[in-house]
Amino acid sequence: MTFAATVLTLFPGMFPGPLGVSLAGKALAEGRWSLAVRDIRDAATGRHRSVDDTPAGGGPGMVLRADVLAAAIDAASPADDPRPRWLMSPRGVPFTQAAARELAAGPGVVIIAGRFEGVDERVIAARNLREVSIGDYVLSGGEIAAMAVLDATVRLLPGVMGNAESAESESFAEDGLEYPHYTRPQIFEGVGIPEVLTSGDHAKVAAWRRAEAERLTAARRPDLLRRGPAKP
């Protein structure tokens, strides 16, 4: 079964963008996942085909209309679509490596990339949208967030990463940050490679990496240390 991604956006020209190159792009070309991109504006009716309107109650910005977005979703994802529907939003639940893993194990995802001040609240409940954020900052639209979600998910699909071990040991897989890496040249601008890494002693190398990973995690992300042991 191929992982099927559908993205609803007002800027379809932004896709596949970075998802069309490197690992994700190669996997896309190989048919390991599919990407359907739909223009929300195609669902707009009326003389002006407007997709947004002023917020009820007043205030700044514009709001994506419930009727237009619902029609766009219905055209792209039937009521019995088994795929989860995500609405990218800075007020959503945080996207995590665990969420990427869960998504990758399923049939795919329908992602709505919002623009404007937000979307009409009624469509979120009516179409069972899960609001998801990629971090505590505000992007000008959900497209880059959708790309981040798909990139993190697609690399976990079977056969996409050449080296399964490297997918496993990376940052967050074990609830901590990754250890530092080195390669040739032996001396770079007068700085050598830590001796233990060239010692050939695999147990010592593993211990050094564990200690370095812990040191970095404690310094940069102490919140990850408090999370406790990795979940299976």
Shortest reach from residue 130's CB to ligand ADE, in Å = 12
Q: Which of 17, 107, 135, 180 binds ligand ADE (CB under 6 A)?
A: 135
Q: Does 133 bind ligand ADE (CB under 6 A)?
A: yes
- Give the sheet arrangement for strand 63-64, strand by strand: 52-53, 63-64, 118-119
Name which of residues 86 to 115 contact ligand ADE (CB under 6 A). 88-90
Q: Does 77 bind ligand ADE (CB under 6 A)?
A: no
Q: Which is nearer to ligand ADE, 140 or 186 (CB)?
A: 140
Q: Which is nearer to ligand ADE, 43 or 119 (CB)?
A: 119
DSSP helix, strand, coil percent of the chain (3-state; round to 5): 40, 20, 45
What's the token pair of residue 92? 């959503």
Shortest reach from residue 4's CB to ligand ADE, in Å = 21
Q: Which amino acid is it at 128?
A: N
Q: Which is nearer to ligand ADE, 61 or 180 (CB)?
A: 61
Q: Does 139 bind ligand ADE (CB under 6 A)?
A: yes
Contact (CB, 8 A) for 153 and 100: yes
Shortest reach from residue 58's CB to ligand ADE, in Å = 22
Q: Which is nearer to ligand ADE, 112 or 160 (CB)?
A: 112
What's the token pair of residue 106? 């399923």
- How many residues sit in the footprint of ligand ADE (CB under 6 A)? 11
Contact (CB, 8 A) for 55 and 61: yes
Q: Determine how many CB atoms are found less than 10 A away from the CB of residue 59.
A: 9
Instruction: Please report how the helices 22-29 and 143-154 are oriented relative to each other, as an axis angle in degrees rounded to 10.
Output: 70
Q: Which is nearer to ligand ADE, 79 or 138 (CB)?
A: 138
Q: Does 118 bind ligand ADE (CB under 6 A)?
A: no
Q: Which of 1, 56, 138, 187 binds ligand ADE (CB under 6 A)?
A: 138
Q: Does 124 bind ligand ADE (CB under 6 A)?
A: no
Q: Which of 108, 118, 142, 176 binds ligand ADE (CB under 6 A)?
A: 142
Matching residue, tokens 């069309």: 20
Q: Determine how many CB atoms are found less than 10 A away from the CB of residue 20.
A: 13
What's the token pair of residue 145? 């967030």
Matching residue, tokens 């901590």: 176
Q: Contact positions toward ligand ADE, by CB under 6 A?
A: 88-90, 133-135, 137-139, 142, 145
